[in-house]
Structure 1
Amino acid sequence: MRFINPKTDYAFKKIFGSAESKNILISFLNALVYDGNPTIEDLEIIDPNLPPQLEGLKDTYLDVKAKLNDGTLVIIEVQVLNVQSFGKRVLFNAAKTYAFQLQRGQGYRYLKPAIALTLTDFEMFPERDRLISRFIYKEKSEGWDYTDNDIELVFVELPKFTKELDQLETLADQWIYFMKFARSLTSIPENMDAIAEFHQAFEIANQAGLTPEELEDLERREMFIYDQQGAIALGREEGREEAQRDVARNLLGQLNDEAIAQATGLSLEVVVALRREMMND
């Protein structure tokens, strides 16, 4: 038995964002956002469709959106590449989700809270030891909460999770283990198989249920991610602009200019110039 990698866009949305994934997503969010408490009773998965076959930066991150029974909006993203200004993008997407609730003429009283849950395949806050970090608005000097604290950012840094299978204690431990290691497992762990939501998640993730075309698409997405991780790591390790330019040149046929600038750290102007050079060659 082999399982698809839940850190790829197609697999994550198939497991957590498809029409039959409601109970799985409820368990997942209760574990990571609400400390394992059964806070969410029901939710609606927004746009429960699998992502299209697209080349480009969209293949390096993904999202599932849900509306909880109390109206709270949640966006869930897994980020596999540590691109420039990623933290700003998370905040922007959360603020956009919060602001775009209102229709023309509606009052602010109709706004519901928005939560951005982000799982990173790199250390977002390397100077901190916390596995799960939560951010809300607080008064700067005394630390008390803002009156309408309607935007919350939650980060789960997968590299900081080091527990083995027999050390899993909480529901959060189990879901993080699933996210990090499902791809390398050959069977459903006994201590997870007994839980209905995990059994269903593993069944959806079972490669045996996919068509050859779906498997080929998944392999393509994984290879794309690994290639970009290697290219970015090489550019950063060498620490020279010329190395960054070489990486950018290799990406010109795969990403748009803005995505290349984010991935390499080059300015958008430099990337545009490189593309012009390629077109003139």
Structure 2
Amino acid sequence: MCTQLFDPKVDYVFKNIFGSEKHPRILISFLNACIKPKEPIVEVKLKNTEITKEYIEDSFSRLDILAKTSTGELINIEMQRADERNMVKRSLYYWSKAYISEYTGKGAYANLPRTICINVLDFILLEEEKFHNKYLIQNASNNNLLTDTLELHFIEIPKMKDIDESDLLSIWVGFLEDPNNEKVISLERKVEELQEAKEELARISRDPKEAENYRMRENARNDRLNALLSAEEKGERKAKLEIAKSLKGILSDEIISEKTGLSLEEIKSL
């Protein structure tokens, strides 16, 4: 019987595939595809591998992946499916936390590592055409690089319209979007790490215990989304009431109702 695969964009599943000590080749392949370093990454050490039951159930928990390369670079990866209107600043915050995590207070600042944050997003964030954009600290007048210590990547999955077989990052994004995509399936024979990721996804999807964890994480996410929507609705209603109050005496209650969407009873009570 064919197993229905979990969505690899669910952060719990994403971390189990790309942040597994049992499958370092998957993460190395993804990092080389995204960062495209001059010298390919050949080894990584994961620094946050544990996923507790409380971590899964807590909708505010961030299931990110933090890895250190053999050359000392720190790389933080986050899979984010919902736009919470704070992605850029949150990425800078996570970068700063990772950056200072190596500082013991005794060494020189010069020893602080090059730190990279990779944000994989299932929504459109930036006013850029490409699905993958990299940001650095550069001189505003001549684009000279100040330092390569900070590097932020944003991968916007919805912007990629088709898989480019010549671009490994495009292939990985295609896998995240739809692991059963015909082109992804055909590429599994060519890209060993992709096949390994697909096999691990299938294993997780067949495991009853993992299925329960998947369900709990999805429930936690839905609870958080509902809370955010409720907060937005309350904020919108408050703004409408303030607008209606300012228009009282200027426009008729009927027109105010039409413009704000509030009922006549609500407007008359102001």
Taking structure 1 as the reference length, the TM-score comes to: 0.74
Unaligned runs of 5+ in 2: 241-270
Residue 48 (structure 1) shift:
2.1
Quick one: percent identity of the two aligned structures? 26
Partner of 2:105: 104
Question: Across the two proteins, how many residue pairs are aligned to each other?
Answer: 236
**Cα offsets for 1:224-253 (capped at 9, x unmatched):** 435655775687689723599xxxxxxxxx
The aligned residue for residue 203 of structure 1 is 199
Between the aligned partners of 2:182 and 2:205, the Cα distance in structure 1 is 15
Q: Does 1:57 align with 2:60?
A: yes
Amino acid corresponding to residue 168 of structure 1 in structure 2: E
Aligned to 1:214: 210
CA shift digits 1:51-91 (9 cap, x unpaired): 53322222xx5311110111000000011121132211110
Question: What letter corresponds to residue 66 of structure 1 in structure 2?
Answer: A
* Cα deviations by residue, 1:240-280 (Å, 9 ceiling, x for unpaired): 23599xxxxxxxxxxxxxxxxxxxxxxxxxxxxxxxxxxxx
Q: Deviations over 1:157-214 (max 9, x none)?
A: 01101115xx5332111100011112x5699702223422111111110156643232
Structure 1: distance between partners of 2:201 and 2:183: 11
- Deviation (angstroms), 1:95: 1.6
- Counterpart CA distance in 1 for 2:231 and 2:207 is 36
CA pair 173-186 structure 1, distance change in 2 beyond 3 A: closer
Alignment CA distance shift 1:159-1:226 (3 Å):
farther
Distance in 2 (CA, whole Å) between partners of 1:159 and 1:227 is 24
Q: Which residue of the partner structure matches residue 96 of structure 2?
A: 95
Deviation at 1:7, TM superposition (A): 1.4
Tell me the distance in 2 between the aligned counterparts of 1:173 and 1:237: 37
- Separation in structure 1 between the aligned mates of residue 111 and residue 71 of structure 2, nearest angstrom: 12
Q: TM-score, normalised by structure 2?
A: 0.77
Contact between 1:73 and 1:112, CA under 8 Å: does it hold in 2? yes
Matched residues in 1 for 2:46 and 2:133: separation? 24
Distance 1:102 1:115 in 2: 16
Does the residue aligned with 2:63 lie in a helix, a strand or coil? strand
Alpha carbons of 1:105 and 1:92: their partners in 2 closer, same or farther (altered >3 Å)? same
Partner in structure 1 of residue 248 of structure 2: none
Within the alignment, does 1:138 sit opposite 2:138 as a pair? yes
Q: Give the distance between the partners of 1:89 and 1:209, measured in 2 at CA.
A: 30
1:224 and 1:159 map into 2 onto residues whose CA distance is 23
- Residues of 2 paired with 1:6 and 1:152: CA distance? 25
Distance 1:74 1:55, change over 3 A: same
CA drift at 1:19: 1.4
**Structure 1 residue identity aligned to 2:215:** E
* Compared CA separation, residues 204 and 106, structure 1 to 2 (3 A): same
Q: Which residue of structure 1 lines up, in the alignment, with residue 159 of structure 2? A: 160
Question: Quick one: structure 1 residues 65 and 154, their matched pair in 2 at CA, closer, same or farther if it must change by over 3 Å?
Answer: same
Distance 1:209 1:78, change over 3 A: closer
User: Cα gap change, 1:237/1:39 in structure 2, threshold over 3 Å: closer, same or farther?
Assistant: farther
Higher relative contact order structure (alpha carbons within 8 Å, sequence separation ≥ 6): 1
Asked whether the equivalents of residues 188 and 202 of structure 1 are also in contact (C-alpha less than 8 Å), the reply is no
- Which of 1 and 2 has greater Rg? 2
Give, in whole Å, the separation in 2 of the partners of 1:207 and 1:38: 33
1:169 counterpart = 2:166: yes
RMSD: 2.9
